[in-house]
Amino acid sequence: MKHHCIKKCVGTYLWIIFLTIALTACGHSKEAILLEQIESTKSDQSVEDVEGETSIENKEEQFLSVYICGAVKHPDVYQLLEGARIKDVVEKAGGFSKKADKNVINLAEKVTDGQQIYIPEEGSIASSEQVQTIDNNGNTSTKIDLNTATKEQLMTLPGIGESKADAILAYREENGVFQTTEDLKKISGIKDGVFQKLKDLIIVH
C-alpha cells in the first residue's frame, strides 16, 4: 500500500513537471509568433511609406509649362499639373480681358508642355483657329488649325458634318493634340478620299 502511494505521488509529480514544460514551451512559441507578426507588420508599413513617398514625388514632377498670351489679364508662362485644360491656364492668367473673344476657344481642351495659347480679341481678323499661310508662289490662304478649331469652324470644312466635328473634338480630348494633319484619318469616317479634300485646308500647330 505504501509503495503504491509513493508510485502515485511520483507519477503525479512527473505529470505536473510535464505540463509545466509544455505550457512554458507553448508560451514561448506564441510569443515568438507574436513578435514575428509585429516585425512583419512594421516591414510592410515601411514599404508602403516608401512607395507612398515615391508616388508623391513622381506626381509632383508632372508639370507642364504653357505660354498664354493675347486677351488675358496677365499673359505669361505658367506651370500646371499634367492633364490641365485651357480653362485652367486662363484662370492662372487672371481670366479673360474685357475684349476677349471667348467663343472661339475650347476651354475643355487639354494643354501640352511648351504649348502657346493665343486668346484673340472680339472682331480681330486673325484667331487661333485660323492660320494664314503663304505658299511658294506668294499666295496666301487661311487654314483651320485642327488643334484649336471650334466645332462650328470644323464644320466649315468639306465633308465634315456635326458628327465628324464631334469626333475630332473627342480625339483632341482623349489624345491632347494632332501631331500631323494625317492623324485626321484616325477619326472614324474620315478615309483617304475625304482627307485629300481637306489636306490643303487644315494645319496643326
Query: Which CATH number fits the domain that encloses residue 105?
Result: 3.10.20.600
As for how many domains the chain has, the answer is 2
Q: Which three cell numbers stand for residue 26?
A: 507553448
Q: Is the pLDDT of residue 131 over 60?
A: no
CB 185 within 8 A of CB 168: no
Helix/strand/coil percentages in the chain, nearest 5: 50, 20, 35
Residue 23 has pLDDT above 80, yes or no: no
Q: What is the pTM of this model?
A: 0.40
pLDDT at residue number 199: 87
CA distance 168 to 144: 13
* Cα 117 to Cα 126: distance, rounded to the nearest angstrom: 14
CA dihedral 67, 68, 70, 73 (to 10 degrees): -130
Residues 6-10: what's their mean pLDDT? 55
Range of the domain at 157: 129-205
Residues 77 and 121 in one domain: yes
Task: Tell me what the pLDDT averaged over the chain comes to.
Answer: 75
- At which of 74, 103, 126 does a domain end? 126
Residue 1 pLDDT more than 80? no
Q: In whole angstroms, what is the distance from residue 8 CA to residue 11 CA?
A: 5
198 and 182 inside one domain: yes
